[in-house]
Amino acid sequence: MKRVLFVCVENSNRSQMAEAFARLHGGDAVEALSAGSAPSGRINPKAVRFMAELGYDLTRHASKSLDDVGGEFDAVVTMGCGDQCPWVPAKRREDWNLPDPKHLDDDGYRAVRDEISARVRQLLTEL
């Protein structure tokens, strides 16, 4: 089983969707986690709504701190949070410089969501 961690500042939008897509696309072959360097403590309602459009219930997730996750990772992906995302050791590290969708309109939010899905699929094929 591959362990993948998606990191963002608030752990309320991009990293949560990436975790969800890794679970959807990776199934039992992947342990997907997400966390934030300064977690907001909640999942953005837009993320919940736009993942529900695809049949995924994001209300089962919680906004977590990096202190809440540990162990070794096959891949750690930061979501474009620059210097605010601390270094987490992993066999593979990537930064996906994605815009934070929290203030985007519906079409913009869906575009970021769909880009995350495509990138997660690609990452999982490469692990």
Enumerate the active-site residues.
Answer: 8, 81, 85
Written as six digits, the tokens of 8 are 């963002």
**Residue 97 CB: number of other CB atoms within 10 A?**
9
Are 18 and 76 a contacting pair, CB within 8 Å?
no
Q: CA-to-CA distance for 28 and 60, rounded, in angstroms?
A: 18
Look up residue 55 and give its DSSP letter.
T
